[in-house]
């Protein structure tokens, strides 16, 4: 199977450097005139599939907003993931899992094994228990051509207390995560399949991404304040690997499918410089 790093690079070349989040939170369902229940969720997701699945390079459903509706919500998520992938988009399932041993292995199988009902192209991971605890997911990436994005340097106000804490050799916790992921991507062409999450609104480039050789998900663009200039400044020489992630900036154009598609096209144009 083609490694995720290759498929990621090809998708961005073909469709532009934009990741669209599907975040059906209650306020947004209401804004779209939909009931805040599993039926409203299903209608929301169907509109998103029609708008984004053949337009965006990567689509990122936020699992939590589906999970709140129980088994009916999970069923909607399964259909949404499958439909987006069938239309050619890469699906990054935003679940932020992080555990150890057989539990981590089970999480990895749930989202990265092609035989799983919720199989996606990639998933988000949390390294709080140590990057090595995520090895079961890394191993499935190699086995099935899947990918992961590990939280490294996020821009929420609580993050710095942990992510910028220093170890004995002076590296920040964020840099330790980056370095360990980079070591696992060594030699991959054009990119490794193990990526990072680095916020587009962190303010200053306080981490070194030069050796990563993998994808970078950059949330925070648009309604959260991140701009194309921020992306240029923070990511520098790593720009071709950067995937700006946008949710509210696009979704507030709904429920009109044409308006949603137009928003994705405008963002792809805004970030065309990332493809060189």
Which residues are known to be catalytic?
96
The 3-state DSSP class for residue 76 equals: helix
Write the CB contacts of 94 (distance below 8 Å, at least 6 apart in sequence).
21, 60, 61, 62, 63, 123, 124
Residue 263 contacts residue 250 (beta carbons within 8 Å): yes
CA 155/CA 170 separation, integer angstroms:
21
Quick one: tokens of 264? 């994705």
Within the chain, strands assigned E span 19-22, 58-61, 90-97, 122-125, 147-153, 194-198, 216-219, 242-246
CA 85/CA 62 separation, integer angstroms:
16
The single residue listed with the structure tokens 């044409």 is: 258
CA 266/CA 247 separation, integer angstroms:
14
Classify residue 35 as exposed, middle or buried by CB count within 10 Å of its CB (0-12, 13-18, 19+).
Answer: exposed
Element (H or E) spanning 245, and its range?
strand 242-246
Quick one: tokens of 61? 């459903």
CA 265/CA 85 separation, integer angstroms:
19
């Amino acid at each position: 199977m083609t490694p995720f790093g290759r498929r990621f690079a090809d998708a961005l070349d073909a469709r532009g450097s934009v990741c669209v989040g599907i975040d059906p939170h209650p306020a947004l369902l209401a804004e779209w005139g939909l009931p805040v229940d599993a039926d409203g969720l299903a209608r929301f997701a169907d509109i998103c599939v029609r708008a984004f699945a053949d337009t965006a390079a990567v689509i990122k459903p936020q699992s939590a907003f589906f999970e709140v509706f129980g088994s009916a919500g999970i069923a909607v998520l399964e259909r949404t993931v499958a439909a987006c992938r069938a239309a050619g988009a890469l699906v990054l399932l935003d679940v932020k899992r992080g555990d150890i041993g057989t539990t981590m292995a089970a999480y990895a199988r749930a989202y990265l094994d092609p035989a799983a009902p919720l199989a996606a192209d990639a998933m988000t991971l949390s390294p709080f228990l140590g990057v090595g605890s995520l090895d079961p997911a890394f191993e499935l990436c190699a086995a099935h051509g899947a990918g992961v994005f590990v939280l490294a340097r996020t821009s929420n106000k609580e993050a710095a207390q942990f992510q910028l804490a220093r170890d004995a050799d002076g590296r920040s916790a964020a840099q330790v995560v980056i370095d360990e992921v980079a070591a696992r991507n060594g030699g991959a062409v054009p990119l490794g399949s193990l990526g990072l999450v680095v916020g587009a609104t962190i303010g200053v480039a306080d981490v070194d991404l030069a050796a990563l050789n993998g994808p970078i998900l950059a949330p925070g663009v648009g309604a959260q304040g991140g701009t194309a200039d921020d992306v240029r400044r923070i990511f520098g020489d790593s720009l071709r690997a950067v995937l700006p992630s946008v949710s509210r900036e696009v979704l507030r154009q709904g429920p009109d499918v044409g308006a949603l598609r137009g928003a994705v096209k405008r963002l792809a144009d805004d970030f065309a410089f990332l493809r060189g």
